[in-house]
Amino acid sequence: MRLRDKVAIVTGAGQGLGEAIARRLAEEGASVVVADIDYQKAREVAKGITEQCHRRTLALFTDVTDGAQVRDMVKKTVEEFGRIDILVSNAGILLAHEITEFPEEDWRRIIDVNLTGYFLCAREVARVMKSQRSGVIIQINSKSGKKGSYKNCAYAASKFGGIGLTQSIALDLAPYGIRVNAVCPGNLLDSPLWVNSLYDQYAKKWGISKEEVRKRYEQQVPLGRGCTYQDVTNVVVFLAGDESSYMTGQAINVTGGQEMR
Ligand SMILES: NC(=O)c1ccc[n+]([C@@H]2O[C@H](COP(=O)([O-])OP(=O)(O)OC[C@H]3O[C@@H](n4cnc5c(N)ncnc54)[C@H](O)[C@@H]3O)[C@@H](O)[C@H]2O)c1
């Protein structure tokens, strides 16, 4: 238990990677706030974690693009648990189009959730962490935060921006003992994003089967497989704990080496 008695907030924790991170932080001993725009799912995840990991949880309806709701998330966390040690800014969306076909409202929505949402959560949490003179902020970024993404410009722009934000607030907050880092996962080939949407889209676009789509993506990875939740949560726990106490402003690739190809 490397995070015993820490208090963590995970945004977008109602499913997918956020759910896996919330569960892992609890397994490592943390109390966890499960925040999501899907309150029903957040409640189910929080209940499951409490039952299985015997840690305290709090489910909250929070839209990370709404400053008032983010303030409320932070206020309720402090009321319930007394402090905030870890923020994992995970909530993110992906809407992909070729540049000349890109609707302005989709562009704005992606920047709003992926970049402004991270800014709002980090700002509000940092106010509490500054008074504690300790804390850790972790952004879930992407390999698309370091390398352009085909027909996916808004997502890549939002994630590149997230690395600029990570580095800059790491500088602002270092004097207060607060560390800020990002994790850049590769393709989570078993996540709902892929299973419910991307395999289908790419299979149709390229005229191949979903299995062939998966194989194509696995072949892009030097280590020969997709990224798993555990690959990412291992690094999140490392960044959240004292073993990374000399690291701030970093964006760590968890890609099986894919960014080198
Ligand atoms: N799936 C992948 O292959 C992959 C790869 C690299 C990085 N990532 C990143 O990991 C993170 C999680 O991705 P995922 O695949 O688990 O996504 P997902 O769509 O499965 O889950 C995202 C969660 O965020 C919530 N959410 C969406 N908008 C929100 C908002 N405005 N406020 C609060 N919650 C909101 C959703 O309700 C959902 O529960 C994202 O930041 C994504 O960019 C994913």
Strand partners, 33: 9, 58
Q: Which of 120, 193, 255 to probe ligand 1 with, by most ligand atoms within 8 A of CB?
A: 193
Look-up of token digits 């999140």: 236
Whole-model pTM?
A: 0.98
Task: Give 246 Cα–ligand 1 centroid separation in angstroms.
Answer: 28
Report yes or no: 38 and 12 within 8 Å, Cβ to Cβ: no
Q: What is the mean pLDDT of each run of 10 residues along the chain (261 residues)?
A: 97 98 98 98 98 97 98 98 98 94 98 98 98 98 96 96 98 98 98 92 91 96 98 98 98 96 86
Cβ of residue 73 lying under 6 Å from some atom of ligand 1: no
State both tokens at 159.
Answer: 């994630």
Alpha carbons 7 and 221: distance in angstroms, whole number? 35
Q: Which of 118, 142, 252 to probe ligand 1 with, by most ligand atoms within 8 A of CB?
A: 142
Q: Whose CA is nearest to atom 41 of ligand 1?
A: 92
Planar angle of CA 255, 260, 261, nearest 5 degrees: 100
Q: What is the DSSP letter of 252?
A: E
Order of strands across the sheet that contains 251-254: 57-61, 31-36, 7-11, 86-89, 135-140, 178-185, 251-254
Q: Whose CA is nearest to atom 23 of ligand 1?
A: 12
Strand partners, 8: 32, 86
Per CATH, is 7-186+228-260 categorized as 3.65.10.10? no
Atom of ligand 1 nearest to the CA of 15: 39
DSSP E strands: which ranges in 54-191? 57-61, 86-89, 135-140, 178-185
Cβ of residue 34 lying under 6 Å from some atom of ligand 1: no
pLDDT given for residue 166 in this prediction: 99
Cβ of residue 193 lying under 6 Å from some atom of ligand 1: yes
Q: Where are the domains of the chain?
A: 7-186+228-260, 187-220
